[in-house]
A and B are shown apart, each in its own frame.
Chain A
Amino acid sequence: NAGVTQTPKFQVLKTGQSMTLQCAQDMNHEYMSWYRQDPGMGLRLIHYSVGAGITDQGEVPNGYNVSRSTTEDFPLRLLSAAPSQTSVYFCASSYDIYEGVYGYTFGSGTRLTVV
């Protein structure tokens, strides 16, 4: 199993550009989420989804959009990149809420730099 796959691994954007960070899982997990990791802040939740067609906001949703058209994919869209969005982004998934207490499966991350 590939687990949770994130692409690209690295990206440099200019301020104002848009892009989509891809996340795909092949474990038939219903629950998927996006976190960003910043120095001194740990990981903070951006958006999450409890199943296809259902998404909701996390702690730091501003500047990001998500959609969940299939169980496998959960892309994160930056509409107009800002330097404050420079971060490492992680996608995570789990089969259900209860499996979550045994740990979510994280992707290897996308390092984004906005100049």
Chain B
Amino acid sequence: DQQVKQNSPSLSVQEGRISILNCDYTNSMFDYFLWYKKYPAEGPTFLISISSIKDKNEDGRFTVFLNKSAKHLSLHIVPSQPGDSAVYFCAAIIMTTDSWGKLQFGAGTQVVVTP
């Protein structure tokens, strides 16, 4: 049973506009949430993370919002650029030594930024 869900397989957005990617989770024990970006024929690369005790984390054009009561997080990209076209994975982890490496990934959202 997938504990992390990305229900939108694709998103198309115009260059300069905001991209909003959504992610829902079911396990309230998750300590950290991460977003990864993946280009074709490459491995995922880390983008941004947020602790479960925070509700917002910002890094340049990327902001992640966490709503624990709704078990929902979102990634905002402002402004969107053509180089942002990629697959974005939401992931979550429980931070114990028993759970290292056990990132739970969503299915991914393909973002296409159009001129």
Interface size class of B (residues with CB under 8 A): 20 to 34
Minimum CB distance partner of B31 in chain A: A101
Interface size counted on chain A using CB atoms at 8 A = 28
Q: Is A53 an interface residue (CB 8 A)?
A: no
Q: Residues on B close to A: CB < 8 A?
A: 2, 4, 6, 9, 31-32, 34, 36, 41-47, 49, 51, 89, 91, 93, 95, 97, 100-103, 105-108
Minimum CB–CB distance for B93 against chain A, Å: 7
In this complex, the member of B44, B47, B102, B105 whose beta carbon has the largest number of chain A beta carbons within 10 angstroms is B44
- The answer to whether B44 and A106 have CB atoms under 8 Å apart is yes
Q: Is A100 an interface residue (CB 8 A)?
A: yes
- The answer to whether A106 and B34 have CB atoms under 8 Å apart is no
Q: Residues on A close to B: CB < 8 A?
A: 4, 31-33, 35, 40-45, 48, 50, 58-59, 90, 92, 97-98, 100-104, 106-109
Residues in chain B near residue A58, CB distance under 8 A: 101-102
Q: Which of A4, A33, A103, A109 contacts B34 (CB 8 A)?
A: A103
Residues in chain A near residue B93, CB distance under 8 A: 100-101
